[in-house]
Amino acid sequence: MNDKTYNGWTNYATWRVNIEMVDGLDPREHFTGSTDVYELASQIEEYVNNYIDDFASGLALGYALAFLDEVNWREIAKHMAEDYELFQTETEVD
């Protein structure tokens, strides 16, 4: 079996980034201008990448970026949008 889901999320990287870096951030304060889940996902990814760039370098940065490549940013954005009741028509479709 090749199931890589973790605690109900796409994978461990998505779960961990959500729980450690995004959970509790109010999108209305941190990700202004988001008009849909795709835009919110892009802003979340940029936020996390900027954070990592500020604290990692060299080999550690390479490993961090490889880890972030596994993150399902849209899943995190959808979860956040549902928590804060954003984009209801889009998040209910999936």
The tens-digit pLDDT sequence of the chain (94 residues) is 578 899 999 999 999 999 999 999 999 999 988 889 999 999 999 999 999 999 999 999 999 999 999 999 999 999 999 999 998 654 444 4
Given this model, what pLDDT does residue 2 score?
72
Given this model, what pLDDT does residue 4 score?
87
Torsion of CA 53, 55, 56, 57, to 10 degrees: 80
Range of the domain at 77: 12-91
Output the six-digit token pair for 16.
Answer: 């961990």
Q: Is residue 3 part of a domain?
A: no
Q: Is residue 22 part of a domain?
A: yes
Task: Please state the pTM of the whole predicted model.
Answer: 0.88
Q: Is residue 73 part of a domain?
A: yes
Q: Which of 89, 4, 87, 92 is nearest to 41 (CA)?
A: 87
Q: Is residue 5 part of a domain?
A: no
All residues at 6 or more sequence positions from 27 whose CB lies less than 8 Å from its CB, including other chains: 34, 40, 80, 81, 84, 86
Count of domains for the chain = 1
Q: How many residues in total does the chain contain?
A: 94
Q: Is residue 7 part of a domain?
A: no
